[in-house]
Structure 1
Amino acid sequence: MNSIDRILSDREKRFEDLMDLIHYHKKTLICGRINYPGSDKNNYYALKAFKYLEKLLDNTFTKKISYKGTRQGYDGPSFILILDEEDHIIKEKAMELEHEHVLGRVFDIDVYTKEGMPLSRLDKNASPRSCVVCGDLVYNCMIMKKHDLHEVLDSINGLIEDLPHI
C-alpha cells in the first residue's frame, strides 16, 4: 500500500472511531488535526504544530471535557475531545482559534454534533480559509495552482519554526 492509500485508509478509520465515540457518549465531539501538505504527516514540523493545537484545545475547553484522547496514524495525529457544551458554541470557539492563532490556517478543528453531523464554517456564515502563502482564498490558489508544494511547506514550516518551544 502506498503512502496516499495509507493516509486515505487512516482517515476512514479515524472517522469510524469518531462516530463510535459519539454514539457511545452522545455528546459533541472535537477532532483537532494539522492541515499539513504532502505525504509525511508525522514530521518534526507537523508534530510541533500539533502539540500547539493539542495544548490550545485542552486549555480552551478544559472545564467542559468529559473524554480526551489522541490518535496516531499515517494521516498524522488527532486530538479528540468529547465536550459537555452545545455544538454551536464549540464551533464558534473553534473558528475563533482557527482565525486568531498564528497557526490557525493549518489547524483543522472539526466539530461534530451529538448525532454525528459535522458542522462546517459555512453553517456559521464564516469566511473561507485564506492561503498561508499569499492570503488569497485557499480554493482559488488550489484551482489556479498558484503555489508548488515546496512554497507552501516553506511558508508553513516558517510559521512553525518561529513558535517558542512548549
Structure 2
Amino acid sequence: MQQILSLTDGPEVTLDQMLQTRDLRARNQRQWLVKHNMPLISLTLVVPGSIKYSSGAQYLFNTALHNIENTCHTHNFLIAAKQNFSTVCGYEALLSVQADAAQLKAICIELEEKHPLGRLWDIDIICPHKGIISRQTTEFNARPCLVCEEDAHACARSRKHSLLELIKVIEEKINAFQCCPK
C-alpha cells in the first residue's frame, strides 16, 4: 500500500528563513555559473504556504530530478555537475549542463507542461552569458493556475484561491501520480 503524501507534514518556515534561502540560492547559482561556465538548471518546487519540507515535496523533487536527468540523457546533454540541497525551506538542485541554453529551456518547459506533475516544478535555466532564459523569450504560454487553468500570476495576485484549496489540489495530483504513474 502506498503512503499518502502530504504537503503539511513538515515544519513551518518563516519569511526571514525563505529570504535567506533565496539569497543563498542566488549566490550558489552565481558560483556555479563562474565555476562551470555552462547553462545551469536550477530546480525548485511550486509549494504554496509556509511548509516547504514535507513528504509530498520530497516526492515531487525526486520525481522532477529523475525526469530532468532522463530528459537530458535523451537529448544527449551532458550533466557536468549536479548538487541537491534540502533544508527546512525545501528541496532544490543545481545541474550544470553542456547544452544550448535556449534549447535546454525549451525541453524543460515541455517537461513542465507534459508531465502530470510538471506544473509543480520550477525549472529555471540560467545562461552564463545571457542570464535567466524566461518563458517570455520562448513560444510557450505563461503557466496556468493549478485550480482553474487561468493565468497563474493573475490568480496569485488576486488571491482567487485559498491556501487550503491549492494544497488539496496539489496533494491530489501527487497521490494520484504516485498511485498510477503515467
TM over 0.5: yes
**3-state secondary structure, aligned to 2:87:** coil
Could you tell me how far apart the structure 2 residues matched to 1:137 and 1:102 are?
18
Residue type matched to 1:147 in 2? H
Structure 1 position 59 matched with structure 2 position 59 = no
Could you tell me how far apart the structure 1 residues matched to 2:22 and 2:67 are?
23
Aligned to 1:50: 61
| Residues 117 and 177, structure 2, Cα contact 8 Å, conserved in 1 | no
Q: Which is worse superposed, 142-151 or 81-90? A: 142-151
Aligned to 1:146: 160
How many residues are paired up? 165
**4+ long deviations beyond 4 Å:** none
Aligned to 1:74: 88
Q: How far is the alpha carbon of 1:80 from its aligned partner?
A: 1.4
Structure 1 position 93 matched with structure 2 position 118 = no
Residue type matched to 1:42 in 2? Y
**3-state secondary structure, aligned to 2:118:** coil
- In the TM superposition, 1:1-166 aligns within 5 A as 3-62=14-73, 63=76, 64-115=78-129, 117-164=131-178
| Residues 131 and 138, structure 1, Cα contact 8 Å, conserved in 2 | yes
**3-state secondary structure, aligned to 1:162:** helix
Q: How far is the alpha carbon of 1:116 from its aligned partner?
A: 6.3
Q: Deviations over 1:103-146 (max 9, x none)?
A: 12111000000236111100113211101111111122123221
Residue type matched to 1:27 in 2? M
Could you tell me how far apart the structure 2 residues matched to 1:127 and 1:25 are?
30
Unmatched 5+ residue regions in structure 2? 1-12
| Residues 22 and 116, structure 1, Cα contact 8 Å, conserved in 2 | no
| Residues 105 and 131, structure 1, Cα contact 8 Å, conserved in 2 | no
**3-state secondary structure, aligned to 1:164:** helix
| Residues 135 and 142, structure 2, Cα contact 8 Å, conserved in 1 | yes
Q: Which is worse superposed, 16-25 or 74-83? A: 74-83
Residue type matched to 2:14 in 1? S
What is the aligned-residue identity percentage?
Answer: 26
**3-state secondary structure, aligned to 1:109:** strand
| Residues 19 and 116, structure 1, Cα contact 8 Å, conserved in 2 | no
